[in-house]
Structures are given as C-alpha cells and as structure tokens.
Structure 1
Amino acid sequence: MAEKRRLLTVGELDPLSDLTGPNPGDTGADGHALDRVLATVTGERFLDRYWGRDCYHDTGEPDRFHHLLPWDELNRLLDGHRAWPLRMQVAKANKSLPPSSYVEPIPGRGVGREPALRVSSTKLHARLREGATLVFGSVDEAVPAVRDLAEALEHDLRAEVFVNLYASWGEVGAFDPHWDDHDGLILQIYGRKEWQLFGAGRPVPLPGDEPLNQCPPAPLRQFELCEGEALYVPRGHWHAVRPVGGTTVHLTVGFRRPVVEDFLKWVVERQRRLPEARSDLPLTGWDDETAGRLSVLREEIGALLTEDGLRRYVAERDGRAQARPRHALPYAAAGQAGDCPPDAVVVLAAPRPVALQEDGRRCVLVSAGKRYDFDAVCAPLVRRLLARTPWRVDELVRAASGEGGPSAGEGRELVAELLRHGLLRLDLAPGPFPAGAPDRKDR
C-alpha cells in the first residue's frame, strides 16, 4: 500500500527567520480598501499626498456610512453589553463619568461575589440627555460591517487598525483639545460636529512626548463635519471636537504604524544571536577586544539599515500580525475539527499581505506567527487562495486538481487543515463574488 504523501507542515515562526514579504502596496482583487470610504480622492492619491503628512477633509452623500452602524446594531450592542466593561465609557467636559452613573447590577446575579453588571438604559439615556458622550472602544470586534472594513484597511495599509464609536446628543465636547499617538480617519455616520484643527506642536511625537508637544495657540481650520463626510488627522496633530446639537455619531478608525524607532529596536534585537553583542562591557576602559566586537556589530547593523533590511522587518511584522476572531459554529466544532460541506465557501484569513516562496519542491508562506510549508503540488490551490477571493470548496479543489494540484480528496483534506490552523475561514454568509472572480456556480 502506497504511503500517503504529506502535503503540509505547519510550525511556529522562528524569531530570527529572514522573510521576504509582498511588494509595498500589494492589495486584494477589489482595489484599495480606502476607496470604500473616500469619495473625492482615490486611495492611491490619498496615500501619496496626505497619509502621515496632512489633514484631509472628504465629502460625500449623507447616507454613505449608514450601513456601517444602523441604529438597531448600536442598540443591540448596548443591550448585550456585559462582556466588554473596559471598552465603554461615558465622558463629559474632559472627564470620564463613573460607571455607576450608567450601569446597574443584574438582579439575582453575582450573589456572594463580584456583582454582574449591565448597561442601564434609564441611566445611560439620562446621561446622554445631559450632554455626555458615549464612547465605545474597539467596536470593530463587535459590529460585523465595521469589522469587515477594519480588516480590509489593515490588510491594504499594513497597519494595526481599531475603531472607536462616539455618540452624543448635546453641545458639550467629551474632551479638551488633544493629540493622538495614532493616525485617525473619522467617519461621520449621523449628524454633524464642529472640528478645530491646530496642527502639530512637535513633528511626529511619540507616546510620552506630552511636555514637548504643546498645542498651537490658534486653530488653523474650523468647520463642521457633516453626515457622510470623512476627516483624516495624522498622528500628533492637535484637534478639538464639539457636537453642535441633535444626534451625532461618528466612528474613528485608528491606525498604528511602526516608526523608525521600532525598526531600530528590531535591528538591535537581531544582534543577540552574535556573541559580540552578548559579551560584557569592560567597565575599566576601552580595549582592543571591545573595539573588535563593536566593529563586527557596526557591520552587522549597517547591513540591516538598508532597503533589504526594512523589507525583512516589515515581512516579519506582517507575518506575526494576528487576525480578528471569526467563529464558524457549528462546522468548526463538528466532525474532525473543521470538516465542512463541499459547497461551503472559504476565504483567506491572513490579516496582512502574504508572499508565496517557491523553489520547485516546496512552497512556503507565513501568516499569524505560523510557517506553512507545502509540497509544490499544492501551489495551484494556494495561489487561488492568496487572491483573497471566496471559493466554494468543491470548485476550489476541482480547479486546482485540473492544473496538476492535489487530488480532490487531498484538496479537501488540505482545506480542512488550513481551516483548523486559521489560515482560512468559513464565509457563512457570502455575498456576490467579486468582479473578475471565477463563477463558482457556472452560471
């Protein structure tokens, strides 16, 4: 009986592995994710002109962001708000109100231990009528449409992305003029707010730079951000926000990108493999041995402070980025740990761009801290997945097999294994397939 061939080996990513990532700017088949939220400039133009440099005010139709946060979705979020006590706050006039002013204990729960709490609709509504602002952090982990947008932006911008929600009904600002240690893209969902933009007191400040980054004395711009409009504010730029009455809700998409200091830390960390970096410093003075060791380190560090070194850093950072959780019950817990119907739809779950390295015998990719080492026969199937378009399992394995890939049975087993490891996810409610993608139903 012939031995069953091993198509895939999965292991943890070596901390000092040298990776080659995709070219900067690589995106999925649907164009740049920024094009979903910007109406008056292309994503490419925005990145070239404004990204990390200057504020940008984008206009559009009033209802263009309503799909991200319908009112019933926000109400559902608050009705079930128990699991995320640290994500929600209510603020007014630069102060966070005590949770006791908007939460209540659940009757009959928590007896003899820490009480179970929930958001009180009566208390919260009263605080909002008094002019307070509701702030809900990381709403991208709780609202599907916002999560989908955040995932697309994270992939295409190769940045850590989180989304916070702000809702108010008064005319009192939640916070005084301030600056953020991350870039922000504000999407005005409902109503309008007054914005003041002051510019940067200290170019590209880092966390802890508050004493060095003073607010400029007068705003450079003051305007109302209206429903359906967007505003980009780079890291370190001072701004003040005030509701102007009536209902106002916006989402702030935050982007955390590595700075040069992070790259330098990575370069230094990689020197730990060298005995010259691990040796003791002579505290009695300079000597020839120390000079020799530092000479070696200068050469090693200099080799990494290059374009190639930067690519390796970005590839490792992308390769370790973790995807947002996507649960797929009952299929994910049934059968042999991930079996699914052949007509189930799967899609790549990698949060950042993925490069496939091929040498004729094996093909390798890295995602979410894991190294996937495939037999070369898997390449036709893997390449289809890297296009980030959804595939029905039966169509995927049949198409790959027709191009010399794994047999249909091997392909299904491979898909199930990739689902178990999290490189693929089930799309339980697939929409229309993207333009240009193969017609999975042969329509």
Structure 2
Amino acid sequence: MRGQDRDRFRSLFSWEQLNHLLNFHRLRFGEEIRLAAIGKKVSGQPETAEEWIKHCQDGYTLIINQLQRRIPEIAELATGIERAIGHRSQVNMYCSWPAQQGFDQHHDDHEVFILQIEGTKRWVVSEETYKYPLDKYNNVSVDTGEPKGPPYIETELHPGDVLYIPRGHWHYAVAGDEPSLHLTLGVTCRTGVYWLKWLADELMDEEEWRRNLPPVVDGDTTRLAAHVRALMGRLAAIADDEQLVQTYLANHLTTQDSRHREVGLPSQSGFHALSTKADTRLRQARFNPVKVDHDAEAEQHRIQFGTRKITLDGAPAALIDNVFRRESFTLAEAVDWAPGFDPDEDIAPLLRLLVEEGILLEEQPPPA
C-alpha cells in the first residue's frame, strides 16, 4: 500500500527516538536489542551502545523489540490494532544500512505489517510452503523447504508505504542506497491449538480429567482405550455448553498482553485517599480491555480484566454502565448516575476499589 504522505509514520518513530533509546535505556542484548547480518554471527554479548554502534558500522541491522512497551504512540497503535481485530500485536524496529541484508530468506509464525519510516528497502516475498506455521522456535511445526517458484512480490518501500506479509510466506529484504528505518507490526493470531490449550486448563478443575489414566499391564491397552473413549465422549458432551463458549470469549477479549496495564500513582497505592472533590476526574486505564457482565437477578456485576476477575454486589447499574461506557467522568457525574446512594458510603468506596485494581485512573491536575 503506497503512502501518499511520506511523513505519516514519523510521528510513531524517528532517528531521534532511536538515539534516545540507545542513550537512556538499558536494553538487554538478545531479548530487547538484537543485531543481524546475513552470513554473520555476533560473537559474545555486546552490552553497550558503543559495541552496538561498532556492529552497525560493520553492516549489521539493529533491531529493538517490543517498542509498544517503551513509546506511548506505539503503545496506542498496538492497542488500537488489538481492539480492532481481537489478536495480540507487537512492534519491533529495524535499522538497516545501505545495500545490507539482515536476514536470509525465511518465514514468520505471525502476520507481518512493514511500516517504512526512513530510507528505502527492497522486499522479495514468495508463497508459503507450509500453511499456518505455529511457533517454529518451540518446534511446534516443521519447515518443508524453501519455495520453488518465483516470488509474487518484488517491491521497494519508501517512507509512508506499508507491506503486508501473511504468516508463513517466505521473504527477505535489502536496504536501498541510504540508511533505512522501519517498524514491523507483528500480529499473533490465536488458533484452534491455543483454544485447546485453554480448554485443557479449564478442565483441570474437574476430577475426571485429573485422574490417572489406567495402567497398561503386559501390553494390554483395553482399559486405556475404553478410558480414552470415555474422555472423548465427555468432550462431545461439553460441545453444546454455551457457558463454556462465553467463558472463552471473555478470556479472548481480556487477555491481550502486548503491554502491561497502565498504572497510576499515588492513588492506586491505597495509601493516598481518592479525592472527593466534585471535579475530580477519573478515566479508564489504557491498553488492556475490560469485560463487564451484569446479572440482574443476582444484582451482580462481574468484571474481568486480564486473568483477574472481581464481583460487585448491589452496585448501581446505571453507574457501572456509565463508568465503563465513557472515556472519563467526574465524581459529580458519578453521583448523578446513582441517585439514592450515599456519595461517601457507597459511591466513593466503589470507585476507590476500581482505582486500586487499576481499572480506573485518577487524572492528576496540571501543575500550577
């Protein structure tokens, strides 16, 4: 996708931000920062910016992982992608040097979007040889050889351009005649295998799934076969369990973890009383979604965020609805949403709980 605006990604990242990361952040080599050059290996563990720059001078591509955990604008981008499609995203940066190639032809186990920021880069993309590969680094799937036919994409990206490479499609890239800077937005889509692993964790609460399988005595598998068939029957029986489906959907929506939930001190610490001023403003924490279910019969609200769940008994329905529907609100508005409830005895403790759990944040007024 050609960009009409060459500057459209420069608000996300720039040479200045790269230098800031290298100058003021301690990055662990191998995890947070990497170096790559085709046909070369990095010897030792370069730990300082001076060592990294020396490798850059030797033509190595410089890579910084997980930028959504370090730069607010990129965190917003990753969160927006996750909320739009319901799958986890991650953003890495690649800094390459003229005519240099970082990696040989390879494929990834996730969807890839290339956002070109500075310079140019030539990309060559070929069809997959194995559909929907899983995590190759954990040996879950196997490679089936490199593609035999010609590539279906050979293109040069310029600033503002986007290239999409589907999971499993082979590719490599070579920088143009000037330094290149691009972001790789990787989207890791959950699969049926992921769902099965989730189901296995859910079934651990049931005794029959924790029970030992029958022993195989003298090679006789009769009892084992009967037991396995019984377990298969149990799986078939739960296939119509709609509640199990809804439980998974809640888990799917609230466990995207490209970065940690936003925190807000001092009010979240519990040692700093939440302001009771009418114009005190609260807002939802960014980055990680929250799912709220209301059981009208039980007069309960069940709130799920990440792997945590809390239950609110008897909370004003209109208050909870507005709290989670609005981006921000004042204490005066919260009181108006719950007529008949005491602001100090009912409303303030409820909001304080949501603040301490990290679901809401108290917006700090700007300094005078």
Which residue pairs with 2:22 in the alignment? 78
Distance 1:429 1:259 in 2: 44
Distance 1:349 1:393 in 2: 18
Asked if residue 356 in structure 1 is aligned to residue 284 in structure 2, the reply is no
Which residue pairs with 2:357 in the alignment? 421
Distance 2:163 2:241 in 1: 32
Higher RCO, 1 vs 2 (CA within 8 Å, ≥6 residues apart) = 1
Q: TM-score, normalised by structure 2?
A: 0.83
Q: Please list, as runs of the form range in 1=range in 2, the aligned pairs for 1:290-309 lying within 5 A after superposition.
A: 291=226, 293-305=227-239, 308=242, 309=244
Distance 1:334 1:88 in 2: 36
Q: Which moved more, 1:364-373 or 1:196-205?
A: 364-373
Q: Please list, as runs of the form range in 1=range in 2, the aligned pairs for 1:125-204 lying within 5 A after superposition.
A: 125-204=53-132
Count, aligned residues: 354
Distance 1:196 1:429 in 2: 51
Q: Which moved more, 1:376-385 or 1:224-233?
A: 376-385
Query: What runs of 5+ residues in structure 2 fail to find an aligned partner?
Result: none
Asked if residue 391 in structure 1 is aligned to residue 339 in structure 2, the reply is no
Q: Secondary structure at the residue paired with 1:164? A: strand
Q: Of 193, 198, 214, which residue of structure 2 is paired with 1:281?
A: 214
1:310 Cα deviation from its structure 2 partner: 4.7
Closer, same or farther in 2 for the Cα pair 1:405/1:261, shift >3 Å? farther
Q: Please list, as runs of the form range in 1=range in 2, the aligned pairs for 1:333-412 lying within 5 A after superposition.
A: 333=269, 335-336=271-272, 342-349=279-286, 351-352=288-289, 354-360=291-297, 361-387=299-325, 389-402=326-339, 407=343, 410-412=346-348
1:77 Cα deviation from its structure 2 partner: 1.1
Distance 1:201 1:71 in 2: 37
Contact 1:192 1:243 in 2 (8 A): yes
User: What amino acid maps onto 1:347 in structure 2?
Assistant: Q
Identity, % of aligned positions: 22
1:260-295 CA deviation, whole Å, 9 max, x = no partner? 12222333444441426614324143557963x445
Q: Secondary structure at the residue paired with 2:185? A: strand
1:147 Cα deviation from its structure 2 partner: 1.0
Contact 1:68 1:145 in 2 (8 A): yes
Q: Secondary structure at the residue paired with 2:177? A: coil
Point out 4+ residue stretches in structure 1 off by more than 6 angstroms.
none
Contact 2:269 2:356 in 1 (8 A): no
Closer, same or farther in 2 for the Cα pair 1:219/1:405, shift >3 Å? farther
Q: Secondary structure at the residue paired with 2:74? A: helix
User: What amino acid maps onto 2:20 in structure 1?
Assistant: R
Distance 2:27 2:167 in 1: 30
User: What amino acid maps onto 1:298 in structure 2?
Assistant: M
1:30-65 CA deviation, whole Å, 9 max, x = no partner? xxxxxxxxxxxxxxxxxxxxxxxxxxx454421111
Asked if residue 226 in structure 1 is aligned to residue 163 in structure 2, the reply is no
Q: Secondary structure at the residue paired with 1:67? A: coil
1:171 Cα deviation from its structure 2 partner: 1.3
1:293-321 CA deviation, whole Å, 9 max, x = no partner? 44542332124446945543332344445
Q: Of 29, 35, 42, which residue of structure 2 is paired with 1:97?
A: 42
Q: Which moved more, 1:183-192 or 1:210-219?
A: 210-219
Q: TM-score, normalised by structure 1?
A: 0.70
Distance 1:340 1:250 in 2: 47
1:384 Cα deviation from its structure 2 partner: 2.3
Distance 1:237 1:396 in 2: 52
User: What amino acid maps onto 1:385 in structure 2?
Assistant: V
Closer, same or farther in 2 for the Cα pair 1:405/1:64, shift >3 Å? farther
User: What amino acid maps onto 1:351 in structure 2?
Assistant: N
Distance 1:345 1:67 in 2: 28
User: What amino acid maps onto 1:377 in structure 2?
Assistant: A
1:204 Cα deviation from its structure 2 partner: 0.7
Which residue pairs with 1:67 in the alignment? 11
Distance 2:107 2:276 in 1: 48
